[in-house]
A and B are shown apart, each in its own frame.
Chain A
Amino acid sequence: MKKKLVAVMMTAAMTAGMLAGCGSKNAAEPQSTKTSDTDSAAEDTTSEGAGGTEQSAETAGEAVTLKIFSNLPDRKNGQGLVEQMIIDEYMAENPNVTIEVEALDEEAYKTKFKAYSMDGMPDVVSIWGQPSFLDEVLEAGVLAELNEDDYADYGFIAGSLEGFKKDGKLYGLPRNTDIQIIYYNQKMFEDNGWEVPSTYEEYITLCQTIKDAGITPVAMDGGDGWPMACYLTDILVKVAGTDYADIVSNAVASGDFTAPEIKEATQLLVQAAEAGVFQTGYDTQDYGTAQNLFTNGQAAMFAMGSWECSMALNEDIPEEIRTNIRAFTLPPMADGKGGANDIAAWNGGGYAVSANSEIKEEAIKFLNYMYQPDKLSKYGWENGVGMSAQDQSSFMTGNETELQKQVVDILKNATSVSGTPINDCGPSAFKTAIESEIQSVSNGTESIDDFLAAIGAACK
């Protein structure tokens, strides 16, 4: 009997504990609920005073909590640092605004983005202006429409907003212009008497020479799939030239990837991998491992996007290597349609405002603040994170790193720009398929025909 009594009491205690647990969770909540209450109050006042929205928010000085969901978890380097700088500045200028940042890396970000889309998105979010990401997102209607006329004098590069539009309406703004480039270690090149190749054939011969010297020619992040797909895009641009976009969009639309240009580009990728252009085991190594090979001087080149320009300023990289990083674009082929200045480049990442945000006005205000030409674009430039999607020529000080200047020249001299890389041109099922299959085809476990058939099937 006593035992039973103890058991009953324990059960009661446990239930009470559980309730208390729930209670404490609720107790932690008020902070956010409270702010959202004031948020909606702020919105009410703003909607009343139709024209003077900004004023009413500012003069009232009501506490506003702006939630930002970002795909840049590293807040101390590169783009994450730039984003954080602007956020800190904005909070200093608007004491009533508190900005909460939640940052996850790309894959985790995209997964949580979906979850958020079902039960309330943070106010400002990172997005990608590419079909593989944006098509489904816009279909679900979770992003707020922006007024394109507002950005007339923001200096956006012509065409850079296109990926962020649907039916002529603008839903987001691009953050970067990304160029697929090959970084190389200039000192290593000079010490060994290697020269920057001017044709694709020379490039392959050079890789062979480097390999014979016992050094990895090109560090490749093959484990993630997308960097290799960007590299394939680059090859395809050199094969097909300005026809690239049409060939890819036709292939995605029909699910038929047997176009001779795509076939040839894939073949060149496979041949390069077979010849040992990439490090051993590239097909399972991740971003960091591949990059480390290059930044530790174990690899002569590193195929990656222009966002890695900040390597030249990253003090975690040994100075001898950091100061010697230079870049070139994949050189043209003897029988290819793409010239040296037809480059693989696109406007990928960017920001948008949630359609269901309770403080939409405030969120758009912050978005516009971020995109003022002297913010995202200028800070990005000063921190060497590559190029923004806005005109940056006025920020040139002459003190830029050599790498930065080179990349600027690459873009300035470009005669054509490819647009979205191949893996992002289709639905996300296609993206997943090509990023996995490209490992199999490059390491020779799958034939080129099977590869093309498999990625085609994923489009249907």
Chain B
Amino acid sequence: MKKMYSNKLVIFSLVLPGLLVFLFAILAPICLSVYYGFTDYSGMGEAVWVGLENYKTLAHDTKFFISLKNSLLLAIGFILIQHPIAIVVAAVLDKLQGKAEGFFRCVYFIPNVISVAVIAYLWKFIYNPDFGLLNNVLKAFGYQGQINWLSADNAIWAVLVVLIWHGFGWGMLIYYTGIKNIDPVLYEAAAIDGADSKTTFIRITLPLMVPVIQVNVTMAIISALKQMETVYLLTGGGPGDRTQFAANYLYQQAFKAFRYGYGNAIGVVFIIICLVVTVLLNQVIFRQRED
């Protein structure tokens, strides 16, 4: 057996399938993307090499910057709104014990289980000015006006609410698992010392959760950058480009405007941005851990 493992051919044959998947499913498409990013390919016919033309256009494309700004806004929303609430809810859940714990854990996670398409249409109806839930609730309280929740000024906030709500359960579940892994002896010791629940949360739970928070924040930022399907179905980036996100803009340019080459250029810049963000985050986290 040992002999077999030291046989280079065996090692190679075992690694090969994974390597092939990586080569053909990940590396090759990225290389093709880079290539097409330098062409004016429309998705059909001939691709003509245009050099850096696409990237020059992209540098002056205000819509691309609007979509990046929106992605940033979403990342901030995730970090400042979604995650603090998720940690607190996870901590409270942990304290609930018994049936209630399982029940609420389930309830909070439900939005994550429902398909994105359903979520988007659900919220479309909630936001509808004529027959939507929100305006009807307001009406029940005596408000006579008709609020346009997806107007040019409100739309981005309305979309952020949906995205933050939708991703909440996922973040919470990871925090919850993290909290469950904290040794209960610590809490017992704190209780003996007379610490109340607020103090134990701040002094014990939070510090021990730092690695989990770091992982979660990294994932939140990446998912904010990659956001596409909910926005596509909810507003399609509109009105105008007010709720445009980078991935949706890429899709629009490549598959609606059939500027396939330009779409690939956006894709390449997008990959670079994601890589830079990940590397930066890792550095920050790594340094913190060293301290």
Co-assembled chains A and B: yes
Nearest CB on A from B147, distance (A): 8
> Which of A281-289, A359-367, A389-397 forms part of the interface with chain B?
A281-289
Whole-angstrom distance between the Cβ of A401 and the nearest chain B Cβ: 27
User: Which residues of chain A have C-beta atoms less than 8 A from B128's C-beta?
Assistant: 281, 285, 289
* Contact A436–B241 (Cβ < 8 Å): yes
A15 contacts chain B at the CB level, 8 A cutoff: yes
CB contact list, B1-46 vs A, under 8 A:
1, 5, 14, 17, 42-45
Chain A residue with minimal CB distance to B5?
A4
The answer to whether A114 and B240 touch across the interface, beta carbons within 8 angstroms, is no
Task: Determine the distance from Cα of A22 to Cα of B44 in the docked complex, in whole angstroms.
Answer: 29
Residue with the greatest number of chain A CB neighbours at <10 A, chosen from B43, B131, B242: B43
From B1, B127, B239, B256, A107 is in contact (CB under 8 Å) with B256
A160 within 8 A of B: no
- With most chain B CB atoms within 10 A of its CB, the pick from A114, A225, A458 is A114
Q: How large is the interface on A (under 10, 10 to 19, 20 to 34, 35 or more residues)?
A: 35 or more
What residue in chain A is nearest B158 (Cβ atoms)? A284
How many residues on the B side are at the interface (Cβ–Cβ under 8 A)?
Answer: 36
Q: Provide the main secondary structure of the chain B interface.
A: loop
The reply to whether B45 and A284 form a contact with Cβ atoms under 8 Å apart is no
Q: What separation, in Å, do the CA atoms of A335 and B33 have in the docked complex?
A: 53
Q: Which chain A residues lie closer than 8 Å to B14 at the CB level?
A: 11
The answer to whether A136 touches B152 (Cβ under 8 A) is no
Distance, CA A136 to CA B235, complexed state (A): 28
- Is A432 a contact partner of B256 (Cβ separation < 8 A)? yes
Counted as pairs of residues, one from A and one from B, with CB atoms less than 8 Å apart, the total is 108
Interface residues of A in 211-229 (CB under 8 A from B): 216, 222-225
Q: Does A50 contact B (CB under 8 A)?
A: no
Q: Is the CB of A445 within 8 A of B152?
A: yes
Contact in complex: B239, A445 (CB < 8 Å): yes
Task: Kindly state the separation between the CA atoms of A7 and B131 in the bound complex, as whole angstroms.
Answer: 58
* A117 on interface, CB distance cutoff 8 Å: yes
Docked Cα-Cα span, A137 to B128, in Å, equals 38
A437 adjacent to chain B (CB < 8 Å)? yes
Q: A137-B44, A281-B149 are in contact. Are A428 and B239 (CB under 8 A)?
A: no
A150 within 8 A of B: no
Whether a CB of chain B sits under 8 angstroms from the CB of A5 is: yes
Q: A4-B1, A139-B44 are in contact. Are A428 and B257 (CB under 8 A)?
A: yes
Given contacts A15-B17, A284-B155, A445-B242, 9 further A-B pairs with CB under 8 A are: A117-B43, A136-B45, A137-B44, A281-B150, A289-B128, A432-B252, A432-B256, A436-B238, A439-B238
> 5 closest A-B pairs (Cβ-Cβ)?
A440-B240, A140-B44, A432-B257, A140-B45, A283-B239
Interface residues, chain A, CB within 8 Å of chain B? 1, 4-5, 11, 15, 18, 107, 110-111, 114, 117-118, 136-137, 139-142, 216, 222-225, 279-281, 283-286, 289, 293, 298, 428-429, 431-433, 436-437, 439-440, 443-446, 458
Complex A-B: 25 CB contacts under 8 Å: A5-B1, A117-B44, A136-B258, A139-B44, A140-B44, A279-B129, A281-B127, A281-B128, A281-B148, A283-B239, A284-B239, A289-B124, A293-B130, A298-B131, A428-B258, A429-B257, A429-B258, A431-B257, A432-B256, A436-B237, A439-B238, A440-B152, A440-B239, A440-B240, A445-B152
